[in-house]
Amino acid sequence: MSHAQAMLETHPRETIFDRAALLECIEACIDCAQSCTSCADACLGEEDSAGLARCIRLCLDCADVCDASGRILTRQTEPDAGVTRALLEACRQACRTCGRECERHARHHEHCRVCAGACQRCEEACGEALSALTA
């Protein structure tokens, strides 16, 4: 059991939506933030970094949004569904936009291929969390 799961299971309050969807979304956000921080840095270290400016930029943005989303989803005390929903929409959008850009460089840079996978997982997890939150 991951620490994230153990923390969720020992929390004194109820979760606002399905626990499995919530845990997957927390872990996907944290994982995607790390992959995007890494991909921005790997692109910066490439010889053709000048052609990767858009990929670097979108990875930095996606890391920041996923970081904030991972923190907010982690909190279960006195949640506000409206704030959570709006941030999940922004996170899904950032992951979709970043993932598509990474995909464009996946043939030339293996780290972009890996990062595109992390973005796609997080985009889907945000979608599932949004469905669970509205249900």
Give the interface with a second copy as residue ranges (CB under 8 A). Answer: 2-4, 6-8, 10-13, 26, 30-31, 34-35, 37-39, 41-42, 44-47, 49-50, 53-54, 56-58, 60-61, 63-65, 67-68, 70-72, 74-80, 82-83, 86-87, 89-90, 93-94, 97, 109-111, 113-115, 117-118
Q: Between 80 and 131, name the residue whose CB sits nearer to a second copy.
A: 80
Q: Between 33 and 128, name the residue whose CB sits nearer to a second copy.
A: 33
Run of H or E residues at 121: helix 110-134
Closest by CA to 35, choosing from 71, 54, 5, 60, is 60
Q: Output the smallest distance, CB 135 to a second copy, in A.
A: 20
Which residues touch 26 (CB under 8 Å, ≥6 apart)? 4, 8, 70, 73, 74
Q: Output the smallest distance, CB 82 to a second copy, in A.
A: 6
Q: Output the smallest distance, CB 50 to a second copy, in A.
A: 5
Say how far apart CA 19 and CA 58 lie, in whole Å: 30
Which residues touch 131 (CB under 8 Å, ≥6 apart)? 21
